[in-house]
């Protein structure tokens, strides 16, 4: 006989195991950082992404092994309503209730038909409002400079993190930190008795840096800040900068960067704290930044539903050149695009659907260095037909018919990706001033350099595959031709030795699928002479085959670049 209490307990047990293992692999980060073991941090960050799906599958297998589930796609309606009610009660004083809700949703949605994906059976709407709020103070400690003075308080804050590596010169760093704070926050009260520090208990680890995140509370208000900590080769640690502007903080927590590794017992509390520091960040974006990408999916879906309830707009085709692999659409008032893999690819794309899926997963697991947009992957997403414009519906039927299903007044898309919407670089350049063109082409070249420094070869480097953000950052977003840089063969164009060779230049040498000729880069990506000349002036290295080959050698030698996600002007001028 089916037992709702037992089933609810087993699902929560599965979530507990997931969260425990998630925290254990996250705990690798501080140890690896202290040892400057960057490969370990990269591996842990990539491995952690699959933990959630593994635990969901294990939970489903255990439920089936105990023969307590009907094997059909049709749930026992009353049984699952009872299970949901019991599960909700189990979360009343749970430290991770929102994550546990999403885990429950995942188990149910993999078991049953999407026709049952409503609030009677899953947590479409969160029940957090019905539960005691976890105070954000659970995730931070407060420090009071009036007791021991400002500099000693900063020493105490650093000491709390128990870094096992000594600092090169902590006293010098503290002086630079105080000086920068006074310069960046001239309107704040700076006397020790006029402020309080609230510091998140765990550092945020990513790539080669640890970040201290906190805020200064004074009579002037709240001043958020981030302090990056880096290694100086084998000599110790140092404070690298002070970031106080919310716009800079949002870039550090941006959608084009790898997920942070940070230990937390109460994710909702830490997200609430971060949201106060960066009010323009949505909960979905913050959960994603912390590595809770499944919770980010849940939050995003709720944000989408809220937006659809607030507008009479319809989805329409996204601006830009039509892609050969994806059909892309958007809702004008919602800053995202929705991408569906086409049934048939255009000429020049000698691969299939499985290759596209694998390459998007590659980027998901890789260090995106602030240059590759994160993607949210969904299955069986229901859109009210009334929200789809006639022209878009016709395009979808023509290009992605196999991914569509119609039920009553709903359009079901079986699989899609969602990304942050940006202005395609080729469209941006059509109306850009010369100064703006110079800025974004410098950004384009820098984006390529930063991607190849972490072993990513974008493949199709056409300008239409890059977007421009509101901060004029250039981000890559089309991954169907992404490969590892070390898998490519960078070659110099053969030089003609005589007139006959010159006449035969285009046919006298063979080209393998992985061959790349950097000298042709600017000719390939644009026909605009002004744009081409700017790119050649700003980034001549990109046309040099030796530059690309050296990047490959660096990767094979495990030499990793430290790409700072904040302006160089904010970095302290350390005198080593």
Q: What are the tens digits of pLDDT across the range 467-495?
A: 999 889 999 999 999 999 999 999 998 87
- Evaluate whether 423 touches 467 at the Cβ level (below 8 Å): yes
**pTM of the predicted structure, to 2 decimals:** 0.91
Per-domain residue ranges for the chain? 4-131, 137-301, 303-350+368-421, 425-556
Picking from 157-166, 189-198, 473-482, which range would have the lowest pLDDT averaged per residue? 189-198
Half-sphere exposure of 463 (CA within 13 A, CB side): 26
Q: Considering only CA atoms, which of 384, 414, 339, 341 is closest in space to residue 114?
A: 414
Between CA 187 and CA 222 the distance in angstroms is 11
Between CA 229 and CA 564 the distance in angstroms is 11
294 annotated as ligand-binding: no
- Evaluate whether 451 touches 458 at the Cβ level (below 8 Å): yes
Average pLDDT of the residues of the chain = 91
Instruction: Copy the structure tokens of residue 232.
Output: 């100086």
Query: Which residues contact residue 499 at a Cβ distance below 8 angstroms, ignoring those fewer than 6 apart?
Result: none
322 annotated as ligand-binding: yes
318 annotated as ligand-binding: yes
- Rounded mean pLDDT, 435-452: 97
339 annotated as ligand-binding: yes
323 annotated as ligand-binding: yes
Catalytic position from the list 173, 198, 367, 374: 374
Location of structure tokens 């930044």: 289
- Was domain 425-556 assigned CATH 1.10.510? yes
Q: What angle do CA 389, 393, 398 make, to 5 degrees?
A: 150
Q: What are the tens digits of pLDDT across the range 216-261?
A: 998 888 999 999 999 987 789 999 999 999 999 999 999 999 999 9
Helix, strand or coil, per DSSP, at residue 491: coil
Assess whether pLDDT exceeds 80 at residue 507.
Answer: no
Give the residue, 423 or 471, on which the prediction is more confident: 423
The full DSSP string for 416-467 is: EEEEE--EEHHHHHHH--HHHHHHHHHHHHHHHHHHHTTTEE-S---GGGEE
Q: What are the tens digits of pLDDT across the range 319-371?
A: 999 999 999 999 999 999 999 999 999 888 889 999 999 999 999 999 999 99
Give yes or no: 442 in active site. Answer: no
Helix, strand or coil, per DSSP, at residue 359: helix
Between CA 499 and CA 504 the distance in angstroms is 9
Instruction: Copy the structure tokens of residue 235.
Output: 């000599």
- Evaluate whether 55 touches 106 at the Cβ level (below 8 Å): no
């Amino acid at each position: 006989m089916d037992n709702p209490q037992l089933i609810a307990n087993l699902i929560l047990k599965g979530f507990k195991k997931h969260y425990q293992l998630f925290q254990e692999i996250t705990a690798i980060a501080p140890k690896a950082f202290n040892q400057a073991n960057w490969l370990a941090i990269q591996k842990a960050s990539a491995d952690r992404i699959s933990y959630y799906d593994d635990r969901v599958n294990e939970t489903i297998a255990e439920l089936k092994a105990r023969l307590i589930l009907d094997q059909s796609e049709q749930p026992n309606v009353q049984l699952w309503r009872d299970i949901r009610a019991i599960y909700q009660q189990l979360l009343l004083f749970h430290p991770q209730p929102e994550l546990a809700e999403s885990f429950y949703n995942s188990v149910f949605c993999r078991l049953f038909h999407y026709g049952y994906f409503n609030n009677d059976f899953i947590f479409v709407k969160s029940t957090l409002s019905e539960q005691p709020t976890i105070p954000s103070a659970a995730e931070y400690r407060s420090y009071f400079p009036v007791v021991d003075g400002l500099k000693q308080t900063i020493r105490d804050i650093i000491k709390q993190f128990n870094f096992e590596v000594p600092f090169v010169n902590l006293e010098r760093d503290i002086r630079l930190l105080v000086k920068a704070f006074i310069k960046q926050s001239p309107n704040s009260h700076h006397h020790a008795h006029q402020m309080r520090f609230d510091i998140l208990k765990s550092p945020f680890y990513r790539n080669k840096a640890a970040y201290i995140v906190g805020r200064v509370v004074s009579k002037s208000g709240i001043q958020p800040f981030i302090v990056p900590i880096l290694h100086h080769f084998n000599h110790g640690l140092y404070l690298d900068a002070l970031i106080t502007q919310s716009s800079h903080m949002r870039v550090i927590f941006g959608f084009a960067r790898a997920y942070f590794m940070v230990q937390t017992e109460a994710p909702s509390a830490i997200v609430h704290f971060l949201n106060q520091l960066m009010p323009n960040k949505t909960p979905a974006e913050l959960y994603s930044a912390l590595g809770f990408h499944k919770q980010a999916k849940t939050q995003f879906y709720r944000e989408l539903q809220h937006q659809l309830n607030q507008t009479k707009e319809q989805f329409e085709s996204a601006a830009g050149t039509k892609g050969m692999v994806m059909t892309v659409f958007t809702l004008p008032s919602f800053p995202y695009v929705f991408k569906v893999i086409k049934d048939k690819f255009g000429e020049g794309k000698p691969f299939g659907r499985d290759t596209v899926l694998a390459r998007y997963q590659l980027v998901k697991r890789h260090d995106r260095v602030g240059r590759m947009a994160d993607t949210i992957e969904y299955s069986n997403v229901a859109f009210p037909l009334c929200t789809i414009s006639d022209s878009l519906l016709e395009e979808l039927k023509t290009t992605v018919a196999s991914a569509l299903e119609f039920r009553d007044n709903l359009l079901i898309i079986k699989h899609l990706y969602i990304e942050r919407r940006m202005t395609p670089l080729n469209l941006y350049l059509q109306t850009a001033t010369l100064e703006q063109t110079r800025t974004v082409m410098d950004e384009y070249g820098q984006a390529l350099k930063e991607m190849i420094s972490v072993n990513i070869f974008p493949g199709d480097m056409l300008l239409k595959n890059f977007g421009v953000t509101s901060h004029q950052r250039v981000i890559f977003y089309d991954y169907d031709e992404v490969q590892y840089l070390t898998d490519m063969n960078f070659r110099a164009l053969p030089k003609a030795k005589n007139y006959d060779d010159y006449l035969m230049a285009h046919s006298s040498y063979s080209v393998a699928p992985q061959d790349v000729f950097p000298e042709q880069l600017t000719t390939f990506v644009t026909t605009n002479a002004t744009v081409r000349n700017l790119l050649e002036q700003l980034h001549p290295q990109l046309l040099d085959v030796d530059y690309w080959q050296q990047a490959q050698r660096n990767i094979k030698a495990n030499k990793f670049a430290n790409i700072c996600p904040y302006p160089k002007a904010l970095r302290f001028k350390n005198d080593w």
